[in-house]
Amino acid sequence: MPKTSADKLKLAKEEIASLSEDYQCRSFHGGVLKCSCIMDLQGNIGTVKAFFTNEVEEFWDVKIHYDHRTDRNVIGVFLGEYLYPYFTSQHERSGCKFKIGQDEHEFCLSTITRIFGLGQHAFTKARSVLVNKKSFGLNILKKGCEFDLLNSKDEEHQKLNYLFNKWFNHKVVPMSLKSPRAISLIENIGGIMLELTNESLASIDFIFANYHPSFEDVVGVTNGGENIRYAPPGNGLARQKTFDTVEELKPFIEQVKPAVISKWKKLYMDEFEYETLFLFSTLSGERDNIPQLAHCDLQLTSIAFEKMHFKSQSMIGFTPINDDGMMIMIWTEGKHKKFRSNEEKLEDRKRKLDEEDVCPGQYFLYIPRGIFVAIPGDTIHAGGFCFGKKLPCPTKKSGINEAKVEYFQNQRLHFTFPMTNLTLEDGEDEDTIIIYSDDRPRFKKDFLPDEDTMAILFKNLLDRHPNFDSKDEAPTSKNSK
C-alpha cells in the first residue's frame, strides 16, 4: 500500500522505527526542541519502540479513531482524550508519562503526536484538550489526592504544590488519607474519611451498572438546590439497608459500617440502619453553578437529643461514582481557625465582645473516586457543584449505554446513618432540611459561599450555564434564591 497522509498507522510505525539515542524532538514549526526525552532513554530504546507499537496499534484499531483519521480537529480531540490519563499536568508544555517495563518515562507532546502518526493540527487540538483550564484544574485536584501536597520533598511534587496554590486557595481541600490537612479538617468536625478497598469500589461499580435509577424516577431538589437531582436506587433495590441485600454490594457496607459505629462508640439500635440515594449535578439557569443554600439534612432537635444523651450523633455520608469525583462545601462554625484571614480574626474578636457567634469557617472539599467521607448530622453543608465528565441517565426504555434523554455530572451516593430510632423515624427529605441564612448586614455573608473562592473555582474548575454571561466572575448573592 503506498504511503499516504491517510495511512496513519504506517506513519506512526515509521516514526517509531526512527527513534534512536540521537533522535531530536522537533516542534511542528521546524525547530529542534530543547527536550531530550528520547535521547535520555539510553539503553531502553528497543523496549520503548515495542511499547509504542502496541499503543498506536490499539489506538488506530478503534473504529471511530480510524474513521476520523483525516479530520485533523476531531482526531486531535480523540488523541487528547486518549492521552489524558498519562498527562502530567505540570505546566502547559507538559508531556505524558508512561510506565514502560519497571520504569516511568515522560515524553513531550510533540514527539508523542508524531509517534501516533499525526501532525500539527492534531497536536494543537490535543494540547487544547489536555491543558484546558478546567480539565487542567480538575487534574491538579486529582493528583493532589495522591500524596501530601504540603510536605513532599521531591521536585515533581513540589511543582504540583506550587501549581495547586496558583490554581486554587486554602479553602479548597483535596480529600485524601495522604493529606494531613484533610485528615485534620475531617477529624476537627468529628467526621470520617476512608480509602475504599478494591472490593468496596467493585460494589460501587456494581450498583452503578445494575441499579442506576431511571430518568423518570429522578427528582429535582428545590429550596435552593436547583442544581441537584436525586433518586433511590433503581431496578427494585431498597433504599434502606441497600448494600446488605445483594452479595456483590456487601463489601462496601462491611468496610463502612465499623467506621461509623466506632464514631458512635456502640450500636444504639438492634441493627445498623442506613439509607442510600443517588445524587446528580446539572447546571441550572436559576442558580448558575453555585452550591445549594447552606443547610443541615436532619432534624436538629433529634440531633440535639442524641448529643445530650449519647455524646454523639447521626451522620450523613458521600462517595463519588463518577471518575471525576465530587465537591461538597462545609461550614465549620468557627472551629477550624488555622487558615482564617486577619479580617476574619478581627471580626471574630468583635463578635465575641458582643457575645455573638464567630464567623464560621468554610471549606470546599474535593472528594475523588475511591474516598468515602461522612460528616456529623449537624454539619452545615452544601452540594450541587458541576464539573468534569457528563454521563447519561438511562430511561425505562433503554439501558444506560443507549440513554439519550439527559446527561448529569458528578454522580455520587448519599447516605444517611441514623444513630437512634429518633432520627430513623424522622427520615430525611426536603421537609427536614434546615436552611441557614442571616439577613443582618454584619452576618449576611456567613452562610454564602466565599466570593473569592467561587471566582477561582469558576475560572479553573466549574462549568457555567449559558444564561450567565460573565464567565470568570463569581456569582454573588444577587444570583441566589
How far is it, in rounded angstroms, from Cα 221 to Cα 384?
Answer: 10
- Whether 373 shows a pLDDT value over 90: the answer reads yes
Q: Which 8-state DSSP code applies to residue 171? A: T
Strand partners, 32: 26
Please name the helix (run of DSSP H) or strand (run of DSSP E) that holds residue 193, with its range, or none. strand 192-195
Largest CA distance in the chain: 85
Highest mean pLDDT among 221-230, 270-279, 447-456: 270-279
pLDDT in tens, 34-87: 788 888 887 788 999 999 999 999 999 999 899 999 988 889 988 988 887 787
pLDDT of res. 363: 93
pLDDT of res. 342: 73
Q: In the numeric block, which cell numbers belong to residue 84?
A: 489524558
- Whether 395 shows a pLDDT value over 90: the answer reads no
What share of the chain has pLDDT > 90, as a percent? 47
pLDDT, average across residues 296-320? 93
- Calculate the average pLDDT of the chain: 84
Q: In the numeric block, which cell numbers belong to residue 433?
A: 432540611
How far is it, in rounded angstroms, from Cα 390 to Cα 373?
Answer: 23
Strand partners, 455: none
pLDDT of res. 265: 92
pTM equals: 0.73
How far is it, in rounded angstroms, from Cα 315 to Cα 333?
Answer: 17
Strand partners, 393: 406
Angle between helices 120-130 and 133-144 (to 10 degrees): 60
pLDDT of res. 475: 39
Q: 300 with 378: CB under 8 angstroms?
A: yes
Q: In the numeric block, which cell numbers belong to residue 250?
A: 456487601
Is 23 strand, coil or helix?
coil
pLDDT of res. 442: 64
Closest CA to 6 of 62, 74, 52, 72: 72
pLDDT, average across residues 189-214? 96
Closest CA to 191 of 51, 106, 318, 334: 318
How far is it, in rounded angstroms, from Cα 470 to Cα 466?
Answer: 10
- Whether 165 shows a pLDDT value over 90: the answer reads no
pLDDT of res. 204: 97
Confidence tier at 352 by pLDDT (50, 70, 90): confident
Which one of 2.60.120, 3.30.70, 1.10.10, 1.25.10 gives the CATH number of domain 166-479?
2.60.120
Per-domain boundaries in the chain: 8-131, 166-479
- Whether 277 shows a pLDDT value over 90: the answer reads yes
Confidence tier at 478 by pLDDT (50, 70, 90): very low
Residue spans of alpha helices (H) in 63-144: 63-67, 72-83, 109-115, 120-130, 133-144
What share of the chain has pLDDT > 70, as a percent? 85
Confidence tier at 89 by pLDDT (50, 70, 90): low
Q: 472 with 455: CB under 8 angstroms?
A: yes
Cβ neighbors of 182 (< 8 A, separation 6 or more) are: 173, 174, 175, 176, 193, 365
- Residue 70's CB: how many other CB atoms inside 10 A? 11
Torsion sign across C-alpha atoms 82, 88, 105, 117: positive
Q: In the numeric block, which cell numbers belong to residue 200?
A: 468496596
Q: Whose grid coordinates read 481557625? A: 337
- Whether 330 shows a pLDDT value over 90: the answer reads yes
Tell me which of 191-205, 296-310, 402-416 is least confident.
402-416
